[in-house]
Amino acid sequence: MTSRGATNVRVVSIGAMGANAMWGEREPARTGHATTSFIGVGDRKILVDPGLPAPALVARLGERLRLTPADITDVFLTSFQPETRRALEAFEGATWWISTEEREGVGAPMAAELARLARLNRPEDAELLAMLQKDVALLRRCDAAPDALAPGVDLYPLPGVTPGLCGLVVEGPRHTVLICGDAIPTQDHLESGRIQPGAADIDKARASLEDALEVADLMVLGRDNIVVNPAARPF
């Protein structure tokens, strides 16, 4: 771990699952979006998973932190799912980060599909092709994150739900916080030890959930609030 120094971790916006299997939902019942977090350390202002549409997230930044997109120095994506990055382009002045494993894990299939659609050149694929081209351009704009994103802010791999899903461990003066992403979406998932349906690798996803419980005092869940780790020591 890097030295302790990150003291400001805030939830900017609490996320939601489009369809929550824990509630018996099989089809989307709402618009899904990731929980967005903020980490302040030194002069770095790091936003994690800007999942809301840009106008809504910009408003939340002002309400919660009195910040504007121009104040954000870094954006970190725990995964490249659309629901973690809706407002990404609102932060053009920031450095965009994603784990190497996630970048490669989603990038290769996207590039292959883009090449296939371009080769077929069918009019009915035009909309899908344009969307895929935009996604590829966004991914290329993301840099591979180093092991330590900032002093006291370390990458913590949690693969399974997506090939290279990666959280952040934030070492504060009193508590260690783990930003989980969709490795642990909600408190119901945390307490029951269940993962989301449709994980890329179910065994890895289960192992990541268990691993996350070994790390932190507090956890920011992928579609929920910040919670006390039920496996952590009392404090």
Nearest to 62 by CA among 54, 111, 231: 54
Q: How far apart are the first and last CA of the chain?
A: 21
Please tell me the predicted confidence (pLDDT) of residue 235.
54
Average pLDDT over residues 50-60: 98
**Backbone dihedral region for residue 147 (phi beyond 0: left; psi -120 to 50: alpha; all else: beta):** alpha
Whole-structure pTM value: 0.93
Domain boundaries, the chain: 8-228
Average pLDDT over residues 51-66: 97
**Residue entry with tokens 């956890």:** 219
Tokens read off for 188: 């119901």
- Classify domain 8-228 at the CATH class level: alpha beta
Please tell me the predicted confidence (pLDDT) of residue 5.
46
Alpha helices in 78-157 (DSSP H): 100-120, 126-141
Please tell me the predicted confidence (pLDDT) of residue 97.
98
Mean pLDDT rounded to a whole number for the chain:
93
Please state the three-class secondary structure of 158-191 as a single string. CCCCCCCCEEEEEECCCCEEEEEECCCCCHHHHH
Please tell me the predicted confidence (pLDDT) of residue 232.
79
